[in-house]
Structure 1
Amino acid sequence: KKHRRVAYITLHKAALVLFFGAPLEVVSVAIARDIFVIGEGGSLSLGLMYAMAGVGTGVGPIFARRYTGDRIAALCSAVALAYGVAAVGLWIVGTLYSLQIVLLGIFIRACGSGILWVFSSQILLQVVPGEVRGRVFSTEYALVTLMSAVGAGLGGQYLEFFTIANAVHWMASVTMLPGILWLWWLMRNSMGKDDEYLFPVK
């Protein structure tokens, strides 16, 4: 049971790239090329989107860590919240109201994904014994690589079946699925418990 808890943490990054990371990268190209075209073929607008994603990925975990510290229970709760933040950002992107609004949505989405990525890594670093840490992180990276490929394929399929706006809103909806499952697990297992109860690995 205690190892299942570690396995759940290793799945977060794979869920990130599957549900909204890789698909949004594909859809962002369509947004830049077909809707907000700045530069040759939308190259500048696409660059702005990636730049905002980079800023949000850095700002999100730095800001959130002021409230979580190194407490595992707080980090786990922040991971659940991060899915909601990412979904809100995606929903804003899906409005396609203006390039500025899309960039704001991408920034918010990236704050959520940054929190999810950094905090899931921190939890693993704190709870996984050193002698097996390499195997855990290599498994996590393999899952991320595999799900990135699947997610990119899904992004292309979304554009085949949906409009760009509906594709992004669909991503926002499915992003909530792993977040809800994680929140349900937390509520079931950690209500009133301390950090050691959550992950008694060492």
Structure 2
Amino acid sequence: MKSKIKPYLDLVRNNHDYRRLWLAQIISNFGDWFGILAVYAIIQRYSGSELLLGLIIVVKMLSLASFSPIAGYITDRFNRRQLMIWCDIIRGVVVLGFIFISSESLLWLAYLLIAIQMAFSAIFEPAKTSSIPNVTTPGELVNANILSAASWSIIFTSGMALGGFATEWLGTDLVFLINAITYMVSSWFIYKAEIPQQMMSSEEKHRTRNPLHGIRDGIVYLRTNKDVLRPTLAKGTFTMCIGALVYMLIIVAEDVLMMGSIGLGILYAARGIGTGIGPVVGRRVFKRENSWVKGMGFFMISAGLMYAFVSYSEMLFWMGLFVMLAHMASGSNWVMSTVLVQRRAPDQYRGRVFSLEWLLFTLAQSISVTVAALILEFDILSLRETMAIFSGLLVLSGIFWLFKIAPAEEKHHLEAGESF
């Protein structure tokens, strides 16, 4: 057991800059997941509407999507370390605004604040992901991403579980205060890190001085480099269905389990555990990187089947188990696609590639959540029927991926003279 975790311990112990970036991720992610249930609790407290609950998720995703193109341009053009520091500070101030929501007439403020928070997250996330290859060696890159995903899942698990109890016992105001403090601490760790970056040349900066030209340049690069495009599509394809399924867990906890924030915290904890275990297991199943794109299709099918079981489950134990298994597949898909993009995209394009990936991801999630929320709000289908449909669509997405996307990847490797 010790030998299996030694590479990760050595990475954190010996790579000081990665360690600081990693700690910043842990602390800010904990605040995010610790605080999000308090936002849900405010919406449910003052409205009780499935549509308004779904709308907060849609606003969150659409804000990320709207700012992603310009965010990618900014993260390639300016110093990523400084951008991350300022994004953390501003987000810390913004989340304090949730404390002022004290009645139904002020609910609009929740949507405005979440939009602002996500606008700066749209800059922070591609800047952070693009920086990981710059603070690690090629040999450390996969372990760094697996560790980041595992840490995210542990923090997600503990943050959501503790957030559920804290929302019930401490109240939403104190939860938002803690969330704000985590952003400030995260900014300090990033300030202490040295993050090298290959900046645009003077000629390229001049050529892309118009943001629209810079964004278009990134789109053209992605469109003409299919080996980068394929893994870039993986997260968006996956979340096109699983986004709605994760949203419906909120309603499952409330209406099926009758456990409110505590039930949701447990289900989301199962999600987090799966996300952490998945990349380790997935790497053992698909050992060669040139098989990872094919593996993504199998992950989609597996996750769809697991959520189909969730839709027919009655007991918390079985729901938690199937949610965990589904997100083992989701976590594997996330890490593998991230590593492939990091390896294949050059530094001066990496921010725009990851922001465009984030754009596809957030748009797909927004659409899926909106459709599910409308179906439930107008009683077109029951909760279980809606979950079953989205589960089936995820299975079909995986089948499409295996027959359409994976063969193109195999052709690319064969032309490059690589064996399978």
| TM-score bracket, shorter-length normalisation | 0.7 to 0.9
Task: Give the 3-state SS of the residue equivalent to 1:11 in structure 2.
Answer: helix
Give the Å deviation of 1:96: 2.0
Residue in 1 that maps onto 2:325: 108
* Structure 1 SS opposite 2:225: helix
Asked whether the 8 Å contact 1:60–1:114 carries over to 2, the reply is yes
**Could you tell me how far 1:6 is from its partner in structure 2?**
2.5
Q: How does 1:82-97 map to 2 (within 5 A)?
A: 82-97=299-314
CA gap of 1:131–1:197, structure 2 versus 1, over 3 A, is: farther
Aligned residue in 2 for 1:30: 251
Match of 2:382 in 1: 163
Kindly report structure 1 stretches of 4+ aligned residues shifted beyond 6 Å: none
Aligned match for 1:11, one of 233, 240, 247: 233
Q: Which residue of 1 aligns with 2:341?
A: 124
**Aligned letter for 2:256?**
I
Aligned CA distance change for structure 1 residues 96 and 67 (closer, same or farther; 3 Å): closer
Q: 1:195: how far off?
A: 8.6
* 1:46 maps onto 2:280 in alignment: no
Maintained 8 Å contact 1:72/1:195: no
Task: Compute the displacement of 1:93 (Å).
Answer: 0.3
3-state SS of 2:281 partner: helix
Q: Contact between 2:274 and 2:324, CA under 8 Å: does it hold in 1? A: yes
Question: Residue 189 and residue 121 in structure 1: after superposition, are their counterparts in 2 closer, same or farther (change >3 A)?
Answer: closer
Q: List per-residue Cα deviations over 1:64-97 (Å, max 9, x = no partner).
A: 112334x332211221111111012111101123
Is residue 297–residue 401 contact of structure 2 (8 Å, CA) maintained in 1? yes
2:281 equivalent to 1:63: yes
The letter for the 1-side match of 2:354 is F
Query: 2:393 is matched with which residue: 151, 157, 174?
Result: 174
Contact 1:190 1:197 in 2 (8 A): no
Q: Distance in 2 between matches of 1:36 and 1:72?
A: 41
Identity of aligned pairs, percent? 25
Q: Which residue of 2 aligns with 1:144?
A: 361
| 1:85–1:111 contact (8 Å) kept in structure 2 | no
Q: Tell me the distance in 2 between the aligned counterparts of 1:48 and 1:89.
A: 17
Looking at structure 2, the residues matched to 152 and 65 of structure 1 have their Cα atoms a distance apart, in angstroms, of 30
1:92-127: CA deviations, max 9, x gaps? 101123221111111111111111111111111122
Structure 1: 5+ residue runs without aligned partners? none
1:189 positional shift: 5.3
| Distance in 1 between residues matched to 2:307 and 2:350, nearest whole Å | 33
User: 7-16 vs 106-115, which deviates more?
Assistant: 7-16
Q: Quick check: 1:190 aligned with 2:410?
A: yes
When Rg is computed on C-alpha atoms for both structures, the one with the higher figure is 2
Rate the CA distance shift 1:13–1:192 in 2: closer, same or farther, 3 A: closer
State whether structure 2 residue 295 is matched by structure 1 residue 74: no
SS in structure 2 of the partner of residue 161 of structure 1: coil
Asked if the contact 1:73/1:194 (under 8 Å) is kept, the reply is no
Instruction: Give the TM-score normalised by structure 2.
Output: 0.43
Q: In 2, distance between residues paired with 1:197 and 1:151?
A: 39
Moved more, 5-14 or 136-145: 5-14
What letter is aligned with 2:262? L
Which is worse superposed, 49-58 or 93-102?
93-102
Change (3 A) 1:66 1:16: same
CA 123–188 in structure 1, closer or farther in 2 if over 3 Å, else same: closer
CA contact (8 A) 2:227 2:409 kept: no
Which protein, 1 or 2, shows the higher relative CO under an 8 Å CA cutoff with sep ≥ 6?
Answer: 1
